[in-house]
Amino acid sequence: MERWSGRVALVTGASVGIGNATARALVQHGMKVVGCARDVDKIRETAAELQQAGAVGQLYPVKCDLTVEAEIRAMFDDIQSQHGGVDVCINNAGVATKDRILSGSMEAFRMMTDVNILAPTLCTQLAVQQMRKRGVDDGHIITLNSMSGHRVGGLAFYSMTKFAIKAFNDGLRMELKDMKSHIRTTCISPGRVETEFIPRIYEDDPQKAQDLHAAMECLQAKDIADTVLYVLGAPPHVEVHDVQVRPTEQK
């Protein structure tokens, strides 16, 4: 990770869970991390905590609603003006609802599509543009998928958005190779992780979320942050393209 010290990473959905753990890990390895979320108070708290602990890097909180294209573009403009541009883009933010294909609301489907598909696509477009404009040829795009992007469970529409991320990652790699670029792209698909993600899905049934977390020894956010570090730390000639990470006890 030494070669990433002092360089700029964007982490979406950095207020809690995997995004927060990843932002922490990158700052501790000396990176300048722009952490975005709709609620930046928790990112500010994390930034202050890291600074007080003497972390080598720095965390910069940014408020951004990833369902609004103009806010994403404005965020990248600010990153360019304040930090020069992105070297690593981590598309972590994701959302799921219980809405089923035959009965779900179009509002919920649009929200999942906006956050899970369109936002990573736009962030990746803008990140690669900034990298190429500065001649950065060793950048990295990391997108958080899910095991739901490899098999369909009870949340079928959510799975649809995550299956799309598999196609996105494969297509992105092909386009980068067509451009003769050495920018790497990675998709990380976690299984069940004990974060705020499941409780948010079942906010009207907290016991359901507790039971799902208690059913096995779940992954922790740090486990996925460690996976990000592994992927980033691979030698420049090694591209870890697709990673599936599950709890040992999960089928």
**Residues carrying an active site annotation:** 158
- Mapped onto helix, strand or coil, the DSSP state of residue 9 is strand
pLDDT per residue as tens digits for the range 107-151 = 999 999 999 999 999 999 999 999 999 999 999 999 999 999 999
Q: Examine residue 251 and state whether it is found in any structural domain, yes or no.
A: no
Adjacent-strand bridge partners of 115:
none
Domain count, the chain: 1
Q: Examine residue 86 and state whether it is found in any structural domain, yes or no.
A: yes
The set of residues, in sequence order, having a beta carbon less than 8 Å from that of 183 and lying 6+ positions away, is 128, 131, 136, 137, 138, 139, 140, 141, 176
* Residues 249, 67: Cα–Cα separation, whole Å: 35
Q: Examine residue 108 and state whether it is found in any structural domain, yes or no.
A: yes
At 109, which CATH number?
Answer: 3.40.50.720
pLDDT per residue as tens digits for the range 28-62 = 999 999 999 999 999 999 999 999 999 999 999 99
Whether the predicted model's global pTM rises above the 0.75 cut: yes
State the residue for tokens 């959510």. Answer: 158
> What's the burial of 71, exposed, middle or buried (CB within 10 Å: 0-12/13-18/19+)?
middle
* Residues 28, 10: Cα–Cα separation, whole Å: 15
Q: Examine residue 235 and state whether it is found in any structural domain, yes or no.
A: yes
